[in-house]
Structure 1
Amino acid sequence: MKVLVTGFTGKVGSQVAKFLRSKDIPMVCGVRNVEKARDSLGDEYEYVELDFAEPSTFEGALEQVDRIFLMYTPGADLQFDIFLEMAKDKDIKHISYLSLKDVQFMPFIHHYKMEKLIKSSNIPYTFVRAGYFMQNLNDFLCKEIKERQRIFVPAGKGKTSFVETRDLAEISVLSLINTEIHKNKTYVITGNEALDFYDVAKIMTDVLNKKIEYTNPSVKEFKSVKKKLGEDEEFVNVVVGVHMPTKLGLAKGIKHDYEKVTGKKPTNIRKYVGDFKGKLDLENITT
Protein backbone atom coordinates (compact mmCIF):
# COMPACT_ATOMS: atom_id res chain seq x y z
CA MET A 1 0.00 0.00 0.00
CA LYS A 2 1.28 3.45 -0.93
CA VAL A 3 -0.74 6.68 -1.11
CA LEU A 4 -0.36 9.65 -3.44
CA VAL A 5 -1.30 12.77 -1.47
CA THR A 6 -2.40 15.72 -3.59
CA GLY A 7 -3.01 19.21 -2.24
CA PHE A 8 -0.16 18.61 0.18
CA THR A 9 0.55 22.31 0.77
CA GLY A 10 -3.11 23.00 1.65
CA LYS A 11 -5.07 22.82 4.87
CA VAL A 12 -6.37 19.27 4.48
CA GLY A 13 -3.64 17.65 2.37
CA SER A 14 -0.98 18.50 4.92
CA GLN A 15 -3.08 16.93 7.69
CA VAL A 16 -3.68 13.81 5.59
CA ALA A 17 0.09 13.42 5.22
CA LYS A 18 0.53 13.79 8.99
CA PHE A 19 -2.10 11.14 9.71
CA LEU A 20 -0.56 8.72 7.21
CA ARG A 21 2.89 9.26 8.69
CA SER A 22 1.56 8.70 12.24
CA LYS A 23 0.32 5.30 11.07
CA ASP A 24 3.56 4.47 9.22
CA ILE A 25 1.76 4.22 5.89
CA PRO A 26 3.99 4.80 2.84
CA MET A 27 3.10 7.88 0.83
CA VAL A 28 4.38 10.34 -1.72
CA CYS A 29 3.25 13.97 -1.86
CA GLY A 30 2.43 15.45 -5.25
CA VAL A 31 3.67 19.04 -5.67
CA ARG A 32 4.18 21.31 -8.66
CA ASN A 33 7.79 22.05 -7.77
CA VAL A 34 9.73 19.39 -5.89
CA GLU A 35 12.81 21.54 -5.21
CA LYS A 36 10.70 24.41 -3.87
CA ALA A 37 8.74 22.04 -1.63
CA ARG A 38 11.93 20.45 -0.31
CA ASP A 39 13.53 23.85 0.33
CA SER A 40 10.53 25.22 2.21
CA LEU A 41 9.23 22.06 3.88
CA GLY A 42 12.36 19.93 4.29
CA ASP A 43 12.94 16.24 3.62
CA GLU A 44 10.37 14.97 6.11
CA TYR A 45 8.20 13.71 3.24
CA GLU A 46 8.83 12.14 -0.15
CA TYR A 47 7.81 14.40 -3.04
CA VAL A 48 6.95 13.84 -6.68
CA GLU A 49 6.19 16.37 -9.40
CA LEU A 50 2.47 16.62 -10.13
CA ASP A 51 0.80 19.44 -12.03
CA PHE A 52 -2.79 18.78 -13.10
CA ALA A 53 -2.29 21.11 -16.05
CA GLU A 54 0.67 19.04 -17.28
CA PRO A 55 -0.26 15.45 -18.20
CA SER A 56 3.44 14.68 -18.67
CA THR A 57 3.72 14.65 -14.85
CA PHE A 58 0.92 12.12 -14.31
CA GLU A 59 2.71 8.86 -15.00
CA GLY A 60 5.59 9.56 -12.64
CA ALA A 61 3.21 10.65 -9.87
CA LEU A 62 1.15 7.48 -10.23
CA GLU A 63 4.14 5.16 -10.29
CA GLN A 64 4.19 2.62 -7.44
CA VAL A 65 1.10 4.01 -5.66
CA ASP A 66 -2.23 2.27 -5.40
CA ARG A 67 -4.40 4.83 -3.57
CA ILE A 68 -4.93 8.57 -3.94
CA PHE A 69 -6.04 11.37 -1.67
CA LEU A 70 -7.37 13.74 -4.32
CA MET A 71 -8.13 17.43 -4.09
CA TYR A 72 -9.18 19.92 -6.71
CA THR A 73 -6.31 22.38 -6.93
CA PRO A 74 -6.70 25.91 -8.36
CA GLY A 75 -5.35 26.56 -11.83
CA ALA A 76 -6.15 26.81 -15.51
CA ASP A 77 -6.40 24.03 -18.12
CA LEU A 78 -6.57 21.28 -15.49
CA GLN A 79 -6.65 17.80 -17.01
CA PHE A 80 -8.36 15.71 -14.35
CA ASP A 81 -10.08 13.55 -16.95
CA ILE A 82 -6.72 12.45 -18.35
CA PHE A 83 -5.34 11.96 -14.83
CA LEU A 84 -8.23 9.67 -13.90
CA GLU A 85 -7.92 7.70 -17.13
CA MET A 86 -4.25 7.09 -16.35
CA ALA A 87 -5.08 6.23 -12.72
CA LYS A 88 -7.50 3.59 -14.01
CA ASP A 89 -4.82 2.20 -16.35
CA LYS A 90 -2.38 2.07 -13.42
CA ASP A 91 -4.90 -0.02 -11.45
CA ILE A 92 -5.41 2.49 -8.66
CA LYS A 93 -7.45 0.74 -5.97
CA HIS A 94 -9.16 3.68 -4.26
CA ILE A 95 -9.57 7.47 -4.42
CA SER A 96 -10.57 9.55 -1.41
CA TYR A 97 -11.80 12.87 -2.80
CA LEU A 98 -12.26 16.01 -0.72
CA SER A 99 -15.55 17.49 -1.86
CA LEU A 100 -18.03 20.04 -0.55
CA LYS A 101 -21.13 19.80 1.63
CA ASP A 102 -24.36 20.07 -0.40
CA VAL A 103 -22.42 19.73 -3.67
CA GLN A 104 -25.26 17.65 -5.11
CA PHE A 105 -27.32 20.85 -5.30
CA MET A 106 -24.58 22.88 -7.03
CA PRO A 107 -23.94 21.49 -10.54
CA PHE A 108 -22.14 24.70 -11.52
CA ILE A 109 -19.10 24.13 -9.26
CA HIS A 110 -16.02 22.04 -9.93
CA HIS A 111 -16.61 19.57 -7.07
CA TYR A 112 -19.87 18.44 -8.67
CA LYS A 113 -18.08 17.80 -11.96
CA MET A 114 -15.19 16.05 -10.22
CA GLU A 115 -17.48 13.63 -8.41
CA LYS A 116 -19.08 12.72 -11.74
CA LEU A 117 -15.65 12.21 -13.34
CA ILE A 118 -14.52 9.94 -10.51
CA LYS A 119 -17.70 7.88 -10.65
CA SER A 120 -17.41 7.49 -14.42
CA SER A 121 -13.80 6.27 -14.05
CA ASN A 122 -15.10 3.21 -12.14
CA ILE A 123 -12.27 3.55 -9.62
CA PRO A 124 -13.61 2.80 -6.10
CA TYR A 125 -13.97 6.04 -4.18
CA THR A 126 -14.93 7.80 -0.99
CA PHE A 127 -16.32 11.32 -1.20
CA VAL A 128 -15.56 13.38 1.89
CA ARG A 129 -17.89 16.36 1.67
CA ALA A 130 -16.71 19.16 3.93
CA GLY A 131 -18.48 21.90 5.81
CA TYR A 132 -16.92 25.34 6.40
CA PHE A 133 -13.29 25.09 7.53
CA MET A 134 -12.53 26.32 11.04
CA GLN A 135 -9.02 26.98 9.72
CA ASN A 136 -10.36 29.94 7.74
CA LEU A 137 -10.21 31.85 11.03
CA ASN A 138 -6.43 31.75 10.99
CA ASP A 139 -6.20 32.01 7.22
CA PHE A 140 -7.93 34.71 5.15
CA LEU A 141 -10.02 35.99 8.08
CA CYS A 142 -7.03 36.38 10.38
CA LYS A 143 -5.66 39.71 9.15
CA GLU A 144 -8.84 41.59 10.06
CA ILE A 145 -9.05 39.76 13.39
CA LYS A 146 -5.47 40.67 14.31
CA GLU A 147 -5.44 44.23 13.03
CA ARG A 148 -9.01 45.36 13.76
CA GLN A 149 -10.30 42.74 16.21
CA ARG A 150 -13.20 41.91 13.94
CA ILE A 151 -14.51 39.09 11.80
CA PHE A 152 -15.12 40.85 8.52
CA VAL A 153 -16.91 38.69 6.01
CA PRO A 154 -20.29 39.05 4.23
CA ALA A 155 -22.04 36.04 5.76
CA GLY A 156 -25.09 37.83 7.14
CA LYS A 157 -26.84 36.30 10.14
CA GLY A 158 -26.85 32.79 8.73
CA LYS A 159 -25.48 29.80 10.58
CA THR A 160 -22.87 27.43 9.20
CA SER A 161 -21.58 24.00 10.17
CA PHE A 162 -17.90 24.58 10.92
CA VAL A 163 -15.54 21.62 10.54
CA GLU A 164 -11.95 21.02 11.61
CA THR A 165 -9.60 20.00 8.81
CA ARG A 166 -7.97 17.41 11.08
CA ASP A 167 -11.36 15.66 11.26
CA LEU A 168 -11.61 15.71 7.46
CA ALA A 169 -8.10 14.29 7.17
CA GLU A 170 -8.87 11.52 9.66
CA ILE A 171 -11.92 10.36 7.69
CA SER A 172 -9.96 10.53 4.43
CA VAL A 173 -7.13 8.40 5.82
CA LEU A 174 -9.51 5.83 7.31
CA SER A 175 -11.18 5.49 3.91
CA LEU A 176 -7.80 4.90 2.26
CA ILE A 177 -6.79 2.27 4.80
CA ASN A 178 -10.08 0.38 5.03
CA THR A 179 -11.12 0.59 1.41
CA GLU A 180 -13.68 -2.21 1.47
CA ILE A 181 -15.60 -0.64 4.35
CA HIS A 182 -15.67 2.79 2.74
CA LYS A 183 -15.92 1.77 -0.91
CA ASN A 184 -18.18 4.11 -2.92
CA LYS A 185 -19.42 5.84 0.22
CA THR A 186 -20.17 9.53 0.66
CA TYR A 187 -19.60 11.17 4.05
CA VAL A 188 -20.69 14.67 4.95
CA ILE A 189 -18.36 15.95 7.66
CA THR A 190 -19.43 18.86 9.85
CA GLY A 191 -19.10 19.89 13.45
CA ASN A 192 -21.94 19.06 15.84
CA GLU A 193 -23.34 22.59 16.02
CA ALA A 194 -24.35 25.31 13.59
CA LEU A 195 -23.11 28.77 14.52
CA ASP A 196 -23.36 32.24 13.07
CA PHE A 197 -20.34 34.52 13.08
CA TYR A 198 -21.72 36.45 16.07
CA ASP A 199 -21.46 33.18 18.00
CA VAL A 200 -17.92 32.64 16.71
CA ALA A 201 -16.86 36.15 17.72
CA LYS A 202 -18.20 35.55 21.24
CA ILE A 203 -16.35 32.23 21.53
CA MET A 204 -13.12 33.84 20.34
CA THR A 205 -13.60 36.68 22.82
CA ASP A 206 -14.03 34.18 25.66
CA VAL A 207 -11.12 31.90 24.72
CA LEU A 208 -8.63 34.58 23.69
CA ASN A 209 -9.62 37.09 26.37
CA LYS A 210 -9.73 39.76 23.67
CA LYS A 211 -12.85 41.51 22.40
CA ILE A 212 -13.59 40.21 18.89
CA GLU A 213 -16.63 41.48 16.98
CA TYR A 214 -18.46 40.31 13.89
CA THR A 215 -19.39 43.41 11.89
CA ASN A 216 -21.61 41.69 9.26
CA PRO A 217 -20.67 43.83 6.26
CA SER A 218 -22.77 43.88 3.12
CA VAL A 219 -21.25 42.40 -0.01
CA LYS A 220 -20.87 45.92 -1.40
CA GLU A 221 -19.09 47.16 1.75
CA PHE A 222 -16.84 44.08 1.87
CA LYS A 223 -15.75 44.48 -1.75
CA SER A 224 -15.20 48.22 -1.32
CA VAL A 225 -12.96 47.78 1.74
CA LYS A 226 -10.96 44.98 0.11
CA LYS A 227 -10.52 47.03 -3.07
CA LYS A 228 -9.13 49.95 -1.07
CA LEU A 229 -6.72 47.54 0.60
CA GLY A 230 -5.52 46.42 -2.84
CA GLU A 231 -6.59 42.82 -2.48
CA ASP A 232 -7.01 40.61 -5.55
CA GLU A 233 -10.48 41.09 -7.02
CA GLU A 234 -10.82 37.47 -8.11
CA PHE A 235 -9.99 36.22 -4.62
CA VAL A 236 -12.42 38.70 -3.06
CA ASN A 237 -15.17 37.36 -5.32
CA VAL A 238 -14.29 33.81 -4.26
CA VAL A 239 -14.61 34.80 -0.59
CA VAL A 240 -18.02 36.35 -1.29
CA GLY A 241 -19.09 33.18 -3.09
CA VAL A 242 -17.91 30.90 -0.30
CA HIS A 243 -20.05 32.78 2.23
CA MET A 244 -23.15 33.24 0.10
CA PRO A 245 -24.75 29.90 1.16
CA THR A 246 -24.34 30.96 4.79
CA LYS A 247 -25.83 34.40 4.08
CA LEU A 248 -28.80 32.72 2.40
CA GLY A 249 -29.31 30.33 5.33
CA LEU A 250 -28.31 27.24 3.36
CA ALA A 251 -25.18 26.16 5.28
CA LYS A 252 -26.56 25.27 8.70
CA GLY A 253 -27.19 21.56 8.19
CA ILE A 254 -25.48 19.22 10.65
CA LYS A 255 -24.49 15.65 9.80
CA HIS A 256 -23.13 12.97 12.13
CA ASP A 257 -21.03 10.95 9.69
CA TYR A 258 -17.78 11.73 11.52
CA GLU A 259 -19.12 10.20 14.74
CA LYS A 260 -20.58 7.20 12.87
CA VAL A 261 -17.23 6.41 11.26
CA THR A 262 -14.86 7.18 14.15
CA GLY A 263 -17.02 6.71 17.24
CA LYS A 264 -15.89 10.16 18.41
CA LYS A 265 -17.44 13.61 18.58
CA PRO A 266 -16.15 16.09 16.00
CA THR A 267 -13.94 18.94 17.15
CA ASN A 268 -15.93 21.95 18.33
CA ILE A 269 -14.90 25.48 17.54
CA ARG A 270 -14.09 26.41 21.13
CA LYS A 271 -11.48 23.64 21.24
CA TYR A 272 -10.19 24.67 17.84
CA VAL A 273 -9.64 28.28 18.90
CA GLY A 274 -7.86 27.07 22.03
CA ASP A 275 -5.68 24.60 20.12
CA PHE A 276 -4.69 27.17 17.52
CA LYS A 277 -4.38 30.18 19.78
CA GLY A 278 -0.64 30.36 19.14
CA LYS A 279 -1.00 30.02 15.37
CA LEU A 280 -3.74 32.63 15.38
CA ASP A 281 -1.10 34.83 17.06
CA LEU A 282 -3.78 36.88 18.70
CA GLU A 283 -2.11 37.23 22.07
CA ASN A 284 -0.42 40.37 20.79
CA ILE A 285 -3.41 42.14 19.27
CA THR A 286 -4.27 45.48 20.79
CA THR A 287 -7.60 46.33 22.32
Structure 2
Amino acid sequence: MAAPRLLITGASGNMGRALLAELAARNVAVRSALRDPADARDAQGDTVAFDFENRSTWPAALAGISALFLLRPPPLSDMKATLIPFCDAAYAAGVAQIVFLSVVGADTKKWVPHHAVEKALAGRPATILRPGFFAQNFADAYREDICADNRIYVPAGKGRVSFVDLRDVAEIAADALLTPQNHQGAAYNLTGASAVGFAEAAAMLSALLARPIRYVPASMLGYILHQRRRGRPWMAAFIQTVLHVGLRFGAAATPDATLETLLGRRPRSLHSYLADHAQLWAPKP
Protein backbone atom coordinates (compact mmCIF):
# COMPACT_ATOMS: atom_id res chain seq x y z
CA MET A 1 0.00 0.00 0.00
CA ALA A 2 1.32 3.48 -0.84
CA ALA A 3 2.43 5.94 1.83
CA PRO A 4 -0.50 7.82 3.39
CA ARG A 5 -1.54 10.99 1.62
CA LEU A 6 -4.67 11.65 3.69
CA LEU A 7 -4.64 13.10 7.20
CA ILE A 8 -7.66 12.40 9.40
CA THR A 9 -8.13 14.63 12.44
CA GLY A 10 -10.52 13.49 15.17
CA ALA A 11 -9.60 9.92 14.25
CA SER A 12 -10.60 8.46 17.63
CA GLY A 13 -14.12 9.93 17.59
CA ASN A 14 -17.36 8.68 16.07
CA MET A 15 -16.91 10.48 12.77
CA GLY A 16 -13.22 9.68 12.56
CA ARG A 17 -13.80 5.97 13.11
CA ALA A 18 -16.58 5.90 10.52
CA LEU A 19 -14.33 7.61 7.97
CA LEU A 20 -11.39 5.33 8.74
CA ALA A 21 -13.62 2.29 8.20
CA GLU A 22 -14.85 3.70 4.88
CA LEU A 23 -11.32 4.43 3.66
CA ALA A 24 -10.08 1.03 4.80
CA ALA A 25 -12.86 -0.59 2.77
CA ARG A 26 -11.50 1.34 -0.23
CA ASN A 27 -7.93 0.18 0.57
CA VAL A 28 -6.73 3.76 1.05
CA ALA A 29 -3.70 4.51 3.26
CA VAL A 30 -4.23 7.26 5.82
CA ARG A 31 -2.51 9.01 8.70
CA SER A 32 -4.57 9.33 11.88
CA ALA A 33 -3.99 12.46 13.97
CA LEU A 34 -4.57 11.79 17.67
CA ARG A 35 -3.91 13.72 20.86
CA ASP A 36 -2.80 10.39 22.31
CA PRO A 37 -1.69 7.71 19.80
CA ALA A 38 -2.69 5.13 22.43
CA ASP A 39 -6.28 5.92 21.35
CA ALA A 40 -5.60 4.31 17.97
CA ARG A 41 -7.88 1.31 18.53
CA ASP A 42 -9.57 1.76 15.15
CA ALA A 43 -6.86 3.73 13.39
CA GLN A 44 -5.65 2.58 10.00
CA GLY A 45 -2.06 2.98 8.81
CA ASP A 46 0.12 5.64 10.43
CA THR A 47 -0.74 7.47 13.63
CA VAL A 48 0.78 10.73 14.77
CA ALA A 49 0.57 12.72 18.01
CA PHE A 50 -1.36 15.89 17.22
CA ASP A 51 -2.89 18.80 19.10
CA PHE A 52 -4.55 21.86 17.52
CA GLU A 53 -3.29 23.87 20.51
CA ASN A 54 0.33 22.72 20.12
CA ARG A 55 1.75 24.00 16.85
CA SER A 56 4.93 21.96 17.26
CA THR A 57 2.83 18.85 16.43
CA TRP A 58 1.59 20.22 13.11
CA PRO A 59 4.59 19.70 10.75
CA ALA A 60 4.90 15.96 11.37
CA ALA A 61 1.16 15.49 10.91
CA LEU A 62 1.13 17.40 7.62
CA ALA A 63 4.32 16.03 6.08
CA GLY A 64 3.58 14.51 2.66
CA ILE A 65 -0.17 15.02 3.00
CA SER A 66 -2.28 16.01 -0.02
CA ALA A 67 -5.79 16.04 1.52
CA LEU A 68 -7.02 16.73 5.04
CA PHE A 69 -10.19 15.81 6.90
CA LEU A 70 -10.77 18.57 9.44
CA LEU A 71 -12.93 18.12 12.53
CA ARG A 72 -13.36 20.59 15.38
CA PRO A 73 -12.90 18.98 18.82
CA PRO A 74 -15.92 20.00 20.94
CA PRO A 75 -13.83 21.62 23.73
CA LEU A 76 -12.23 24.08 21.29
CA SER A 77 -14.04 27.39 20.80
CA ASP A 78 -11.25 29.76 19.68
CA MET A 79 -10.98 28.99 15.99
CA LYS A 80 -8.66 31.93 15.29
CA ALA A 81 -6.01 30.36 17.52
CA THR A 82 -6.45 26.74 16.44
CA LEU A 83 -8.25 25.43 13.36
CA ILE A 84 -7.86 28.51 11.16
CA PRO A 85 -4.07 28.81 11.49
CA PHE A 86 -3.83 25.04 11.10
CA CYS A 87 -5.66 25.33 7.77
CA ASP A 88 -3.17 28.01 6.73
CA ALA A 89 -0.30 25.72 7.71
CA ALA A 90 -1.86 22.84 5.79
CA TYR A 91 -2.15 24.80 2.57
CA ALA A 92 1.40 26.11 3.03
CA ALA A 93 2.60 22.51 3.45
CA GLY A 94 1.07 21.51 0.09
CA VAL A 95 -2.35 20.20 1.10
CA ALA A 96 -4.58 20.55 -1.98
CA GLN A 97 -7.94 19.72 -0.41
CA ILE A 98 -9.56 20.22 3.01
CA VAL A 99 -12.83 18.49 3.83
CA PHE A 100 -14.33 20.22 6.86
CA LEU A 101 -17.02 18.65 9.01
CA SER A 102 -19.24 21.59 9.89
CA VAL A 103 -22.89 21.63 11.03
CA VAL A 104 -26.17 22.57 9.40
CA GLY A 105 -26.70 26.31 9.72
CA ALA A 106 -23.05 27.21 10.33
CA ASP A 107 -23.09 29.45 7.26
CA THR A 108 -25.54 31.84 8.95
CA LYS A 109 -25.15 31.19 12.71
CA LYS A 110 -22.14 33.31 13.59
CA TRP A 111 -22.12 32.09 17.20
CA VAL A 112 -21.36 28.51 16.09
CA PRO A 113 -17.54 28.00 16.10
CA HIS A 114 -17.74 26.26 12.70
CA HIS A 115 -18.88 29.54 11.11
CA ALA A 116 -15.44 31.14 11.45
CA VAL A 117 -13.76 28.08 9.89
CA GLU A 118 -16.18 28.06 6.95
CA LYS A 119 -15.47 31.74 6.38
CA ALA A 120 -11.71 31.11 6.46
CA LEU A 121 -12.03 28.29 3.89
CA ALA A 122 -14.18 30.30 1.47
CA GLY A 123 -12.54 30.54 -1.95
CA ARG A 124 -9.86 27.98 -1.07
CA PRO A 125 -9.59 24.30 -2.10
CA ALA A 126 -12.12 22.86 0.33
CA THR A 127 -15.41 21.02 0.68
CA ILE A 128 -17.82 21.77 3.53
CA LEU A 129 -19.99 19.01 4.96
CA ARG A 130 -22.91 20.25 7.07
CA PRO A 131 -24.61 17.23 8.60
CA GLY A 132 -27.68 17.59 10.75
CA PHE A 133 -28.26 15.69 13.98
CA PHE A 134 -26.41 12.39 14.02
CA ALA A 135 -28.09 9.04 14.60
CA GLN A 136 -24.91 8.33 16.57
CA ASN A 137 -26.06 10.81 19.23
CA PHE A 138 -28.03 7.89 20.62
CA ALA A 139 -24.74 6.08 21.26
CA ASP A 140 -23.00 9.20 22.55
CA ALA A 141 -24.87 12.19 23.99
CA TYR A 142 -28.04 10.22 24.82
CA ARG A 143 -26.55 6.83 25.71
CA GLU A 144 -26.00 7.25 29.44
CA ASP A 145 -29.58 8.41 30.02
CA ILE A 146 -30.90 5.45 28.04
CA CYS A 147 -28.73 2.88 29.80
CA ALA A 148 -28.99 4.26 33.34
CA ASP A 149 -32.47 5.80 33.40
CA ASN A 150 -34.33 4.19 30.46
CA ARG A 151 -35.09 7.62 29.06
CA ILE A 152 -34.18 10.09 26.33
CA TYR A 153 -33.84 13.48 28.01
CA VAL A 154 -33.44 16.51 25.70
CA PRO A 155 -35.10 19.96 25.46
CA ALA A 156 -36.58 19.30 22.02
CA GLY A 157 -40.28 19.38 22.87
CA LYS A 158 -42.27 17.79 20.06
CA GLY A 159 -39.63 18.61 17.47
CA ARG A 160 -38.83 16.12 14.74
CA VAL A 161 -35.35 15.39 13.39
CA SER A 162 -34.04 14.09 10.07
CA PHE A 163 -31.27 12.08 11.74
CA VAL A 164 -28.25 11.33 9.54
CA ASP A 165 -26.03 8.26 9.95
CA LEU A 166 -22.30 9.01 10.14
CA ARG A 167 -21.63 5.99 7.94
CA ASP A 168 -23.37 7.84 5.10
CA VAL A 169 -21.52 11.08 5.87
CA ALA A 170 -18.25 9.10 5.81
CA GLU A 171 -18.96 7.96 2.25
CA ILE A 172 -19.30 11.55 1.09
CA ALA A 173 -16.23 12.65 3.05
CA ALA A 174 -14.17 9.87 1.45
CA ASP A 175 -15.37 10.87 -2.02
CA ALA A 176 -14.48 14.52 -1.38
CA LEU A 177 -10.99 13.54 -0.17
CA LEU A 178 -10.26 11.11 -2.99
CA THR A 179 -11.90 12.97 -5.89
CA PRO A 180 -11.61 16.61 -4.87
CA GLN A 181 -12.18 17.79 -8.42
CA ASN A 182 -15.80 16.68 -8.07
CA HIS A 183 -16.43 18.47 -4.79
CA GLN A 184 -14.12 21.46 -4.29
CA GLY A 185 -16.01 24.64 -3.51
CA ALA A 186 -19.16 22.72 -2.54
CA ALA A 187 -21.03 22.99 0.76
CA TYR A 188 -23.43 20.11 1.36
CA ASN A 189 -26.31 20.01 3.85
CA LEU A 190 -26.62 16.36 4.81
CA THR A 191 -29.70 14.89 6.51
CA GLY A 192 -31.59 11.65 6.65
CA ALA A 193 -34.50 11.01 4.32
CA SER A 194 -37.30 11.33 6.89
CA ALA A 195 -37.94 13.09 10.19
CA VAL A 196 -38.49 11.26 13.48
CA GLY A 197 -39.70 12.59 16.85
CA PHE A 198 -37.97 11.64 20.08
CA ALA A 199 -41.09 9.87 21.35
CA GLU A 200 -41.03 7.77 18.17
CA ALA A 201 -37.31 7.08 18.67
CA ALA A 202 -38.04 5.98 22.24
CA ALA A 203 -40.69 3.59 20.92
CA MET A 204 -38.19 2.14 18.44
CA LEU A 205 -35.69 1.54 21.24
CA SER A 206 -38.37 0.03 23.47
CA ALA A 207 -39.21 -2.54 20.78
CA LEU A 208 -35.57 -3.31 19.95
CA LEU A 209 -34.43 -3.58 23.58
CA ALA A 210 -37.55 -5.31 24.94
CA ARG A 211 -37.81 -2.81 27.80
CA PRO A 212 -39.64 0.53 28.06
CA ILE A 213 -37.67 3.61 27.06
CA ARG A 214 -39.36 6.99 27.70
CA TYR A 215 -38.90 10.35 26.09
CA VAL A 216 -38.80 13.05 28.79
CA PRO A 217 -38.73 16.60 27.37
CA ALA A 218 -36.24 18.72 29.32
CA SER A 219 -36.36 22.44 30.09
CA MET A 220 -33.47 24.62 28.91
CA LEU A 221 -32.11 25.18 32.42
CA GLY A 222 -32.70 21.57 33.39
CA TYR A 223 -30.76 20.33 30.38
CA ILE A 224 -27.82 22.70 30.88
CA LEU A 225 -27.52 21.57 34.50
CA HIS A 226 -27.90 17.95 33.41
CA GLN A 227 -25.09 18.37 30.87
CA ARG A 228 -22.88 19.94 33.52
CA ARG A 229 -23.53 17.03 35.88
CA ARG A 230 -22.45 14.76 33.02
CA GLY A 231 -19.15 16.63 32.91
CA ARG A 232 -19.62 18.81 29.83
CA PRO A 233 -17.95 22.26 29.81
CA TRP A 234 -20.30 25.24 30.09
CA MET A 235 -19.89 26.28 26.45
CA ALA A 236 -20.51 22.77 25.14
CA ALA A 237 -23.56 22.42 27.41
CA PHE A 238 -24.91 25.77 26.18
CA ILE A 239 -24.43 24.91 22.49
CA GLN A 240 -26.04 21.49 22.91
CA THR A 241 -28.99 23.08 24.68
CA VAL A 242 -29.52 25.79 22.05
CA LEU A 243 -29.29 23.27 19.21
CA HIS A 244 -31.88 20.99 20.83
CA VAL A 245 -34.24 23.85 21.66
CA GLY A 246 -34.11 24.82 17.99
CA LEU A 247 -35.66 21.45 17.20
CA ARG A 248 -38.90 22.65 18.81
CA PHE A 249 -39.25 25.12 15.95
CA GLY A 250 -38.49 22.70 13.13
CA ALA A 251 -34.76 23.45 12.82
CA ALA A 252 -33.97 19.88 11.71
CA ALA A 253 -37.36 18.58 10.63
CA THR A 254 -37.11 19.05 6.87
CA PRO A 255 -35.16 16.36 5.02
CA ASP A 256 -32.64 17.55 2.44
CA ALA A 257 -32.28 15.47 -0.72
CA THR A 258 -28.56 16.27 -1.15
CA LEU A 259 -27.28 13.18 0.67
CA GLU A 260 -29.50 10.82 -1.31
CA THR A 261 -28.33 12.43 -4.55
CA LEU A 262 -24.66 12.14 -3.61
CA LEU A 263 -24.98 8.55 -2.39
CA GLY A 264 -27.10 7.40 -5.31
CA ARG A 265 -29.32 5.55 -2.84
CA ARG A 266 -31.64 6.27 0.08
CA PRO A 267 -29.74 7.21 3.26
CA ARG A 268 -29.79 4.84 6.21
CA SER A 269 -32.76 5.38 8.54
CA LEU A 270 -32.61 5.97 12.28
CA HIS A 271 -34.28 2.61 12.83
CA SER A 272 -31.58 0.83 10.82
CA TYR A 273 -28.88 2.51 12.92
CA LEU A 274 -30.58 1.59 16.21
CA ALA A 275 -31.16 -1.99 15.07
CA ASP A 276 -27.52 -2.36 13.96
CA HIS A 277 -26.22 -1.19 17.36
CA ALA A 278 -28.85 -2.38 19.84
CA GLN A 279 -26.18 -3.92 22.09
CA LEU A 280 -24.96 -0.42 23.00
CA TRP A 281 -28.01 0.30 25.15
CA ALA A 282 -27.86 -2.65 27.53
CA PRO A 283 -29.10 -1.52 30.96
CA LYS A 284 -26.54 -0.60 33.59
CA PRO A 285 -26.31 -3.21 36.35
Q: Normalising by structure 1, report the TM-score.
A: 0.89
| 2:220 counterpart letter in structure 1 | V
Counterparts in 2 of 1:67 and 1:157: CA distance versus 1, 3 Å: same
- Matched residue, 2:197: 196
Counterparts in 2 of 1:84 and 1:236: CA distance versus 1, 3 Å: closer
- Matched residue, 1:46: 46
* Secondary structure in 1 matching 2:196: coil
Quote the offset at 1:151 in angstroms.
0.7
Higher deviation after alignment, 41-50 or 65-74: 41-50
* Secondary structure in 1 matching 2:147: helix
- Matched residue, 2:187: 186
Asked if structure 2 preserves the Cα contact closer than 8 Å seen for 1:207 and 1:270, the reply is no
Counterparts in 2 of 1:203 and 1:89: CA distance versus 1, 3 Å: same
Counterparts in 2 of 1:28 and 1:230: CA distance versus 1, 3 Å: closer
2:101 corresponds to 1:98: yes
Give the Cα separation in 1 of the matches to 2:237 and 2:128: 28
Give the Cα separation in 2 of the matches to 1:57 and 1:285: 39
Asked if structure 1 preserves the Cα contact closer than 8 Å seen for 2:17 and 2:42, the reply is no
**1:117-155 deviation digits (Å, cap 9, x = unpaired):** 1125x2x11111111011111212112112221111111
Q: What's the % identity of the aligned pairs?
A: 26
Quote the offset at 1:230 in angstroms.
6.5
The alignment of Structure 1 onto Structure 2 pairs a total of residues equal to 278
Spell out the pairing of 1:1-287 with structure 2 (5 A cutoff): 2-34=5-37, 36-38=38-40, 41=41, 44-73=44-73, 74-75=75-76, 78-119=81-122, 122=124, 124-223=125-224, 231-232=231-232, 234=234, 235-280=236-281, 282=282, 284=283
Asked if structure 1 preserves the Cα contact closer than 8 Å seen for 2:29 and 2:45, the reply is no
Asked if structure 2 preserves the Cα contact closer than 8 Å seen for 1:175 and 1:182, the reply is yes
Asked if structure 1 preserves the Cα contact closer than 8 Å seen for 2:193 and 2:260, the reply is no
Quote the offset at 1:223 in angstroms.
4.2
Give the Cα separation in 2 of the matches to 1:32 and 1:115: 23
* Secondary structure in 1 matching 2:241: helix
Superposed CA RMSD in Å reads 2.1
* Secondary structure in 2 matching 1:221: helix
Give the Cα separation in 2 of the matches to 1:29 and 1:233: 26
Quote the offset at 1:225 in angstroms.
5.2
Give the Cα separation in 2 of the matches to 1:141 and 1:250: 19
Asked if structure 1 preserves the Cα contact closer than 8 Å seen for 2:65 and 2:94, the reply is no
Give the Cα separation in 2 of the matches to 1:230 and 1:174: 36
| 1:23 counterpart letter in structure 2 | R
Asked if structure 2 preserves the Cα contact closer than 8 Å seen for 1:175 and 1:181, the reply is yes
Give the Cα separation in 1 of the matches to 2:203 and 2:152: 11
Give the Cα separation in 2 of the matches to 1:185 and 1:169: 16
Give the Cα separation in 2 of the matches to 1:265 and 1:230: 35
